[in-house]
Amino acid sequence: MYEILGYADEWTVAPGQTINFKVNCEYPMAFDADLVRVRCGDVSRGAPGLKESVAIPRIAEQVKGVKQYTEVGSRAVAPAFQESHEARRSWILAIMPTLPQNDADQIILSRGGAGAGYRLGLDRDGCLFWEQSNGADKQRLTLDTAVVARQWYLVRVCLDRVDGSVTLGQTPANPLLASNTHAQGRQVFGAVPDAGYDGLDMVFGAAATGANRPAYEHHYNGRVDSPTLLPYLADDVDLAQLRAEAGARLYATPPLAAWDFAQGIDTDDIFDTARAWSKGRIENLPVRGVPGLRWDSTVMNWQDKPDHFAALHFHDDTLEDAKWETSFSLTLPDDLPSGLYAARLTGPAGEQERITFIVRPKRGAERKKIAFLMSTATYMAYSNSHYRFDEEGMEMKSGHFMVLYPWETYLGEHRELGLSMYDTHSDGYGVYYASRRRPVFSMHLQCRTWSLNSDSRFLDWLDEKGFDYDVISDDMLHEEGLEALKGYNVVMTGAHPEYWTTRMWQAMVAYQQQGGRLMYMGGNGFYWRCAYHPAKPWLMELRRTETGARYSETPAGEGYHSYTGEYGGTWRRIGVAPQTLVGIGTTATGFDASSYYRRRPESLDPRAAFIFEGVDEEIIGDFGSSGGGAAGDEIDRADFRLGTPAHALILARSEKHTRYYNVVPEETTYHHPTINGEEAKYCYADLVYYECLNGGAVFSTGSITWGASLCWDSYQNNVSRITENVVRRFADDAPIEFPAISRE
């Protein structure tokens, strides 16, 4: 399974641009590569199946396949500095372990590798230890009292070269919560770490190995705040200074090093306030913008009082960049048409892998009238999800026994490929960051029902109907804003555009205001606000605050994105509901079976006549390859209180969803029999149409499974006909007239 696996360094590329492919082979082999244009990747029962055509044969031949290496686990690395000239010195810092009992040592701070150096960490039982080595002998002092998970501790390590002793102590920051875990120990080693490591980096959250693979080991799960190195033996008064703000701490002698993680929260830099111009870097995605030792719940935004958020949260399972070696590269022809493409790799025994990417239109080139917007932000959020594999009880949550797909079992066995934003870290905290610089299975064909392969159904349908179109992406929309949409009469979304950045939202609003037409072809869209790293666009961040259908809870004080400082959560909770953008918003989810729509009287309004031309049926979409109907999985409804335009026409509404459909949390205010019994009244999808100013319009389906009905009966069905009618009218240059609003 997956003898060949790979990824591209970019997901969205333009003609003339060079794209690099990184490939892993499970055993030595030579493979060939063709460039194929992908029309459809959905091979589920009743779906169009895999459709592709060779665009450029043999873009690479007999490439030597190698086993690639991936290193996971976060850390912070500080540049070398001198400390060994001091006869006495002390480390003081605050720690909050989140998985203290683990199957190996966890290193909180360290200098040196396999030779001389020292380490402060937790052993397998969660007991704090200090370990030092002169390159030959290794000595360790371990406290006899384990720390408590998710509680803050003040830690002191005193190193005395005069008598060769080391004193190690832990003090609960809140003695009411961990009063029985105060501990201290002293041991005479005969020597303390000396000058051999002064030229080595300081590492927080892991230990350097001194080797290439792995470069770091024994990753720590937990938080570190204000690690400070003093040039004397610290006492309780010094330890108490950690509670003061960085600029107000009083020490007998200025520190040798004082790392303030509150500075540069929106960057990858860490700063040593004891030495001018000295800074280090975070690596492999430790979490920033989280409460530290001094957080007292009076502020929730790290920008208001950064010193309250002066912690880094380290994990042993994070991945920013797999850093695989490039196997081959391709410069795309200048005239390559926009579309979904893949490098199709073929091994000697027929092994295959398709590394997909999007070819956008070239900058400055003439645009087609139709643009299909691929939901790359949503693909990133789902990325390499493990929740169906990991979570107990998932096998019956949809009303039937769960069947794991091969890609899910593969990811369960290959944790080094990183997590999705639907997973939790090994310490139970939700995942805030995701990267596309690794194999991402939501970008794989035939892998997930509502990611790339689901959106490929629309490309198949557009090709079948003979439409000429460009393919653009969320990444492009975020980077270019409104410029990415200029020239298009109509923009069509995929089945599940769930995750949107502020810049994407603003661009689409501006597009509509200028007369653009939007076809929202899915469900549970425009739901979560996400953020992209300002300097590393391959990284995305998500904080799921307060409400919304989510797999993990974002703790208090962590609701603001570290990349942008924006408040995270659902767009509805932020105050800009999807109804203001597309007329409908998420109301319920269910995954056992899909239903159909029944037309409403508004469908007979002359304004909607073009939509139902050639459609006489009252029932719409009682068929499809995903659950048997066009209304299912995740569904949206109109709500005039939340911003559905007053003149919007609710053309059709789904009905008879099963009892396994549940309304999303924000639809109910209180769990009580008299309220919960009314939930079913919100369990439907709305098919909505309305006009915008300046000749624009919006058509929204409100269902993830609408696209799975397009190809039914050889594309000759009422879902297909309605969609075709809308595309043809929306692509037409003739303005769409804004209706006169009755004052009655």
In the chain, domain spans: 75-314
Q: Look at the block and give the residue holding tokens 């004052």.
A: 743
Residue 520's pLDDT is 98
Who wins on pLDDT, 474 or 1? 474
516 pLDDT higher than 50: yes
Q: Look at the block and give the residue holding tokens 């629309």.
A: 458
Residue 396's pLDDT is 46
Q: What is the pTM assigned to this prediction?
A: 0.95
Average pLDDT of the chain is 93
Residue 256 is which amino acid?
L
Band (pLDDT 50/70/90 cuts) for residue 109 is very high
- Name the 3-class secondary structure at 177: helix
Report how far Cα 202 is from the mean position of its chain's Cα atoms: 29
Side-by-side strand order, sheet with 499-500: 499-500, 528-529, 569-570
List pLDDT tens digits, range 579-610: 999 999 999 999 899 999 999 999 999 999 99
**Is 471 in contact with 360 (CB distance < 8 Å)?**
yes
The whole-angstrom separation of Cα 400 and Cα 403 is 9
- For range 55-62, the mean pLDDT: 98
Residue 112's pLDDT is 86
Beta strand segments in 161-210, E: 165-172, 183-188, 202-204, 207-208
Residues 6+ apart with CB under 8 A from 620: 596, 597, 598, 599, 630, 652, 687, 718, 719, 722
HSE on the CB side for 543, CA within 13 Å?
26
Residue 390's pLDDT is 67
Residue 671's pLDDT is 64
Cβ neighbourhood burial of 389 (10 Å; 0-12, 13-18, 19+): middle
The whole-angstrom separation of Cα 74 and Cα 77 is 10
DSSP letter assigned to residue 408 = H
325 pLDDT higher than 80: yes
Residue 17's pLDDT is 97
Lowest-confidence range among 175-184, 237-246, 323-332, 612-621? 175-184
Task: Provide the percentage of residues in the chain whose pLDDT is more than 90.
Answer: 80
Residue 82's pLDDT is 86
**Is 635 in contact with 572 (CB distance < 8 Å)?**
no
300 pLDDT higher than 80: yes
Q: Which residues pair with 54 in a beta bridge?
A: 36
Residues 6+ apart with CB under 8 A from 543: 432, 554, 558, 559, 560, 561, 568, 569
Residue 14 is which amino acid?
A
Residue 624's pLDDT is 95
**Is 205 in contact with 219 (CB distance < 8 Å)?**
yes
Residue 720's pLDDT is 98
Lowest-confidence range among 190-199, 290-299, 614-623? 190-199
Torsion of CA 602, 606, 608, 609, to 10 degrees: 120
Lowest-confidence range among 24-28, 679-683, 731-735? 679-683
Residue 448's pLDDT is 61
List pLDDT tens digits, range 529-550: 999 999 999 999 999 998 898 8
**Is 579 in contact with 637 (CB distance < 8 Å)?**
no
List pLDDT tens digits, range 113-172: 766 789 999 999 999 999 998 777 789 999 999 999 999 999 999 999 889 899 999 999
Q: Look at the block and give the residue holding tokens 């204000």.
A: 226
16 pLDDT higher than 70: yes
Residue 447's pLDDT is 73
Residue 578's pLDDT is 98
Lowest-confidence range among 189-193, 259-263, 366-370? 189-193
Q: Which residues pair with 287 in a beta bridge?
A: 313
Band (pLDDT 50/70/90 cuts) for residue 107 is very high
**Is 339 in contact with 468 (CB distance < 8 Å)?**
no
Band (pLDDT 50/70/90 cuts) for residue 685 is very high
388 pLDDT higher than 90: no
- Name the 3-class secondary structure at 372: strand
- Look up residue 429 and give its two tokens: 């905290």
Lowest-confidence range among 107-116, 472-481, 556-565, 665-674? 665-674
Residue 450's pLDDT is 67
List pLDDT tens digits, range 254-284: 999 999 999 999 999 999 999 888 999 999 9
- For range 639-660, the mean pLDDT: 96
CATH code of the region 75-314: 2.60.120.200
Q: Look at the block and give the residue holding tokens 């060939």.
A: 32
The whole-angstrom separation of Cα 467 and Cα 457 is 14
**Is 67 in contact with 194 (CB distance < 8 Å)?**
no
Residue 83 is which amino acid?
E
- For range 218-239, the mean pLDDT: 97
The whole-angstrom separation of Cα 494 and Cα 388 is 23
Helices (H) and strands (E) counted in the chain, each on its own, are 12, 43
Residue 408's pLDDT is 82
Band (pLDDT 50/70/90 cuts) for residue 460 is very high
- For range 211-238, the mean pLDDT: 96
Lowest-confidence range among 511-520, 555-564, 664-673? 664-673
Q: What is the 3-state secondary structure (H, E, C) of 259-326?
A: EECCCCCCCCEEEECCCCCCEEEEECCCEEEECCCCCCCCCCCCCCCHHHHCEEEECCCCCCCCCCCE
- Look up residue 374 and give its two tokens: 């691929």
The whole-angstrom separation of Cα 487 and Cα 505 is 18
Band (pLDDT 50/70/90 cuts) for residue 676 is very low
